[in-house]
Amino acid sequence: MTNYVDFHRRSIDDREGFWGEQAQLVHWHEQPTQVCDYSNPPFAKWFVGGKTNLCYNAVDRHLVDRPDQNALIFVSTETEQEKIYSFRDLHAEVQRMAAILQAQGVTKGDRVLIYMPMIPEAAFAMLACVRIGAIHSVVFGGFASHSLASRIDDSQPKVIVSADAGMRGGKVVPYKHLLDEAINLADNKPARVLMVDRGLAPFAKTDGRDIDYAELRAAHMDTVVPCEWVDATHPSYTLYTSGTTGKPKGVQRDTGGYTVALAASMKHIYMGEPGETYFSTSDIGWVVGHSYIIYGPLIGGMATIMYEGLPIRPDAGIWWSLVEKYKVTVMFSAPTAVRVLKKQDPAFLTKYDLSSLKALFLAGEPLDEPTAKWISEALGKPIVDNYWQTETGWPILAICNGVESAPSKFGSPGKAVYGYDVKLIDESTGEAITEANKKGVVVVEGPLPPGCLQTVWGDDKRFVSTYWTSFPSKQMYSTFDWGVRDEDGYYFILGRTDDVINVAGHRLGTREIEESISSHPAIAEVAVVGVADQLKGQVAMAFAVLKDASRAANADDARKLEAEVMKVVDDQLGAVARPARVRFVTVLPKTRSGKVLRRAIQAVCEGRDSGDLTTMEDPAALAQIKDLVTPA
């Protein structure tokens, strides 16, 4: 087995040779003429001159060796459905969806927005888009109209693919009214809305715009849609992620680099083999769902489970029953899900035959040591933490057991992954930290490896200003996370340097939540901070100043007002962004220059020392917050 230190060093020192070899893991219609063009930093172009197709690599090329092997396994504990698609079946369904999109005028470079629950048609839509060279933009199903409208305006889709409803916890979550409202709010109206009717929620059709998927599918049962061979640098999709400003960022991914990065990760990180089964419990609305529900496992010739439901319904053994039934070898989930399972009867963890499972991978938020230790002992399987971002599309830090076996350390996502030149930077000096166990900002020296974001959709300046200007004298991508590295080269992530919080694996910009709360007519000013939470990792806490302070004096009025503010956030951003509490204060703690002391507020909420407050304008402001959050 290869020595990992040498493997990683070569990926940095000999990028051309290293990534040229990894590129042979995928199919090329035309081979690249240049592995990496970094002539215009920080913009990296990977596999220049190459032509390929993401759908061909995920579906078509497997028709030769494994046409009747399981490809997509759909399981819904919400609707009690289970359906298996072979690679042959998947190929046919994707072509039908592609034919429908082409019939609506969708061509190479056009955008298609996908606003759907976890159903097979969502996977068909994603694969159909990349098959014909269209650029998909998946928005988490059930996202509120306000957030959806901003994504419609930014991506300007020709077609939106949606469904009548999703389901969660046995309750129907209707989508169509949210979508209609979003289109009304948006300046850029789609020409067509393709509706998948699951029969869960009645909805009204808009004449001339809304079209029925089942009807059009029947008309294209045998339509052949060949793959559009695109340049390696052609965008495959955009995916929106919260930032520190109100406007979401459209992370733009390429085609060739992403295909190679995923193919290599399946081999070197996840140790997946063709014919095996991969089970990621995420959602296609998030980056994990893109990379490791849809594209990664299929590129690797594996079956992938697409699951609609909760980890504890019908009982806390549901996931493990699927591991046994489909002989899952690789499972990928989030620390929050494990913390939910920790509250259930531990007998469910030993009820099923898990002998096929090689490892459980966890990502999406920091994995605390007690949770990691508990699930490791309960399952008797390796627990592999890994750290990455929407922007990177695949892990930055992990244990690459497919290269060289190495132990995991509880609380650490591992070492720098091949291709990533990871460094810790002293925030005050901008210099690299070489000694062990010293806190710094986690950065990646350019160029970013294949598979990472090319730019921010439609905004190259924002790409540069957001990610590459924290340390102006160096070409470094900032993760905006604090970290330390121990003497063995293992990293530990300590939390954000900016105003993005991580709630159960969902990244939320506190600025977005603040803007939403501020839109309530009673609110004069608000500060939102992320506070450590045992179950979700972090939760949002809001502290608001009222235009009429007397409204907070009466407890009943205050509760009613808090509920109103919560509803505003629900309606504009969705339930995932709802603060755990909205507390009313007479003044926010600020510096004398007027900057809100969010870190001090966070420290008080978490029972920590709030640090040096000599620049604070009104010390009583922080004391007021302390009284509110300290249990009586």
**pLDDT tens profile 596-623:** 778 788 888 888 877 655 445 677 788 8
With tokens 């650490």, the residue in question is 412
Section 478-495 average pLDDT = 90
- Residue 1 structure tokens: 């087995």
For the chain, the residue count is 632
What pLDDT is attached to residue 246?
A: 59
What is the average pLDDT score of the chain? Answer: 92
d(C-alpha 540, C-alpha 508), whole Å: 9
What pLDDT is attached to residue 143?
A: 82
pLDDT reading at 632 higher than 70: no
d(C-alpha 391, C-alpha 478), whole Å: 11
Buried b (16+ CB within 10 A) or exposed e, 433-459: beeeeeebbbbbbbbbbbbbbbbbbeb
Most confident of 145-149, 227-231, 466-470: 227-231
What pLDDT is attached to residue 592?
A: 55
- Residue 79 structure tokens: 């609707």
% the chain with pLDDT above 90: 71
Provide the residue ranges of all domains of the chain, joining segments of one domain with +. 55-65+86-228, 500-629
The number of CA neighbours under 13 Å toward the Cβ of 625 is 31
Domain 55-65+86-228, second-level architecture: 3-Layer(aba) Sandwich (3.40)
Section 89-105 average pLDDT = 98
Per the CB < 8 A criterion, the answer to whether 90 and 74 are in contact is no
What pLDDT is attached to residue 242?
A: 66
Minimal CA–CA distance to 360: which of 394, 392, 389, 337? 337
- Residue 614 structure tokens: 């000599």
pLDDT tens by residue, 420-438:
999 999 988 889 999 999 9
pLDDT tens by residue, 525-547:
888 988 888 888 888 999 998 88
CATH 3.30.1490.190 correct for 500-629: no
pLDDT tens by residue, 377-393:
999 999 999 999 999 99
Per the CB < 8 A criterion, the answer to whether 341 and 373 are in contact is no
Minimal CA–CA distance to 333: which of 286, 380, 273? 286
- Band of residue 18 on the pLDDT scale cut at 50, 70, 90: very high
* pTM, full prediction: 0.84
Per the CB < 8 A criterion, the answer to whether 313 and 323 are in contact is no
State the DSSP code for 607. T
Section 219-239 average pLDDT = 98
d(C-alpha 54, C-alpha 441), whole Å: 34
* Residue 437, Ramachandran bin (φ over 0: left; ψ between -120 and 50: alpha; else beta): left
Q: Does the fold of domain 500-629 match that of domain 55-65+86-228?
A: no
Which residues, at least 6 apart from 97, have a Cβ–Cβ distance to it below 8 Å? 121, 124, 125, 127, 128, 217
Measured N-to-C along each axis, helices 145-155 and 555-573 cross at an angle, to the nearest 10 degrees, of: 30
Torsion 69-72-77-78 (CA) sign: negative
Which residues, at least 6 apart from 389, have a Cβ–Cβ distance to it below 8 Å? 241, 287, 396, 479
Long-range (24+ apart) CB contacts under 8 A made by 3-11 are 3/404, 4/400, 4/403, 4/404, 4/406, 4/415, 7/400, 7/403, 7/404, 7/418, 8/415, 8/416, 8/417, 8/418, 11/418, 11/419, 11/449
pLDDT reading at 121 higher than 90: yes
**Where do runs of H (alpha helix) occur along 48-166?**
54-58, 87-103, 120-131, 145-155
Q: In what order do the strands lie in the sheet with 135-138?
A: 210-212, 192-196, 159-163, 111-115, 135-138, 237-241, 249-253, 455-456
What pLDDT is attached to residue 484?
A: 92
- Band of residue 366 on the pLDDT scale cut at 50, 70, 90: confident
d(C-alpha 280, C-alpha 291), whole Å: 10
pLDDT reading at 245 higher than 60: no
CA–centroid distance for 622 within its chain: 34
Per the CB < 8 A criterion, the answer to whether 358 and 276 are in contact is no
pLDDT reading at 244 higher than 70: no
pLDDT reading at 174 higher than 60: yes
**Where do runs of H (alpha helix) occur along 432-554?**
460-467, 510-518
Write the burial class of residue 222 (CB in 10 Å: 0-12 exposed, 13-18 middle, 19+ buried): exposed
Q: Which helix (H) or strand (E) holds 4?
A: helix 4-13
Minimal CA–CA distance to 18: which of 323, 335, 419? 419
d(C-alpha 563, C-alpha 570), whole Å: 10
Section 52-68 average pLDDT = 98
- Residue 460 structure tokens: 């190259």
Per the CB < 8 A criterion, the answer to whether 106 and 112 are in contact is yes
Most confident of 169-173, 197-201, 345-349: 197-201
Minimal CA–CA distance to 541: which of 503, 594, 591, 504? 503
Say if residue 395 is preceded by a cis peptide, omega within 30 of 0. Answer: no
Minimal CA–CA distance to 371: which of 536, 204, 616? 536
